[in-house]
């Protein structure tokens, strides 16, 4: 499954502070439909993501009926991204 969307970089100060991009509702619904085939526990879903020229692996986190894409510091540095920037993302999920 491949998904492309844009989203704003947010910061969540939960137990592990991190920068994320929320997955829009429509794409979250598609992921939710395939979740049982790809999750490795408690709803976390491994993905390959791409922002700009930077490709990386991460795991989507479920949050409030949607999913969040974590943006690693090395990705944000490589692409010169800051909190509040809107980015284009491509996600690949092996179904």
Residue 16 has pLDDT above 80, yes or no: no
Q: Which position has the higher pLDDT, 77 or 39?
A: 77
Whether the Cβ atoms of residue 9 and residue 85 lie closer than 8 Å to each other: yes
Distance CA 40, CA 38 (A): 7
Q: Which two tokens stand for residue 19?
A: 């920068």
- Give the number of C-alpha atoms closer than 13 A to the C-alpha of residue 20, restricted to the C-beta side: 19
> What is 2-92's CATH superfamily?
AF2212/PG0164-like (2.40.30.100)
Q: Which position has the higher pLDDT, 50 or 42?
A: 50
* Domain layout of the chain by residue ranges: 2-92
pLDDT band at 14 (very low <50, low <70, confident <90, very high): low
pLDDT recorded at residue 13: 77
pLDDT tens profile 45-94: 999 999 999 999 999 988 888 999 999 999 999 999 999 999 999 999 98
What sign has the CA pseudo-torsion 31, 51, 63, 17?
positive
């Amino acid at each position: 499954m491949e998904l492309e969307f844009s989203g704003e970089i947010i910061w969540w100060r939960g137990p592990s502070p991190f920068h994320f991009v929320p997955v829009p509702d429509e794409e979250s619904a598609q992921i939710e439909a395939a979740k049982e085939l790809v999750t490795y526990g408690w709803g976390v879903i491994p993905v390959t993501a791409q922002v700009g020229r930077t490709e990386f692996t991460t795991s989507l986190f479920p949050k409030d009926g949607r999913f969040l894409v974590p943006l690693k510091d090395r990705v944000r540095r490589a692409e010169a991204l800051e909190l509040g920037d809107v980015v284009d993302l491509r996600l690949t999920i092996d179904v």
